[in-house]
Amino acid sequence: MTPQAKQWLSEARRIAVLTGSGISAESGVPTFRGQDGLWRTHRPEDLATPEAFARDPKLVWEWYDWRRSIISKVEPNPGHFALASLEDRSPDFQLVTQNVDGLHERAGSRRVHHLHGSIWRVRCTECGAENNDGRVPMPVIPPRCGCGALVRPGVVWFGEPLPGKAWMEAERAAAACDLLIVAGTSAQVYPAASLVPLAARGGARIIEINLEETPLSGVAGLALRGKAGEILPQLIS
């Protein structure tokens, strides 16, 4: 932990945080890219697109059911808890996440902008009815709505727009913050990754926390290399 990172945090008035799957890795949730990433052994176009769901809803649901079973067994880690405590003590704090696992809320974060939806939400493909659904395993795959149509996971797939309100809040937070912490994301998926240059253009200081360099490391004034579950608690303590 550099003293400069702590100083930047203490000087910040408006703090925004962008998280990705790396922050949940230490809880035991697989990331997407990298050595053990999901996209090493699975093709996103087979599992995480509207076309894949139209083609084979059972296969897509089996994959989401498997991921839900993993997530249901894990616990938030010190990185999630550190961000929840930062929210508690910061008058102006916005947490934006690409994660669908719900671990930020389980750690106590209250205002979370979910750019990619939630794996615990489901939505009817016909009538649009949306519900929380925490059943693991899903009793019937693929599940159906009361109206008879297929129900889909409440996540954002490749090629789909982000939820309007969450994206608006995220853009507003990035444009207005004076410190952006970017933790555990490969910064390869847009538009989420565009929040980083957006914050930089607004004059924000940027701290990246990641095991490795990312395409946006150059935009970050400080790049802290290591585990989010270790660095965030040190930074925020």
Enumerate binding residues for ligand OAD (CB under 6 A).
20-22, 25-26, 31-34, 37, 44, 48, 98, 116, 156, 158, 184-186, 188-189, 209-212, 214, 227-229
Measure the CA–CA gap between 107 and 110, rounded to whole angstroms.
9
Closest CA to 67 of 112, 31, 105: 31
The residue among 178 and 233 lying less far from ligand OAD, judged by its C-beta, is: 233
DSSP assignment string, 131-144: EE---SS-SSSS-B
The residue among 135 and 158 lying less far from ligand OAD, judged by its C-beta, is: 158
116 is catalytic: yes
Shortest distance in whole angstroms from residue 186 CB to ligand OAD: 3
CB atoms within 10 A of CB 131: 12
Shortest distance in whole angstroms from residue 202 CB to ligand OAD: 22
**Beta-carbon contacts of residue 237 (< 8 Å; ≥ 6 apart):** 82
Shortest distance in whole angstroms from residue 62 CB to ligand OAD: 16
3-class state of residue 27 by DSSP: coil
**Beta-carbon contacts of residue 134 (< 8 Å; ≥ 6 apart):** 72, 120
The residue among 109 and 139 lying less far from ligand OAD, judged by its C-beta, is: 109
The residue among 30 and 202 lying less far from ligand OAD, judged by its C-beta, is: 30
Shortest distance in whole angstroms from residue 24 CB to ligand OAD: 9
Alpha-carbon Rg for the chain in angstroms = 18
Point out the catalytic residue in the list 80, 104, 113, 116: 116
Measure the CA–CA gap between 59 and 55, rounded to whole angstroms.
9
Query: Which are the catalytic amino acids?
Result: 116
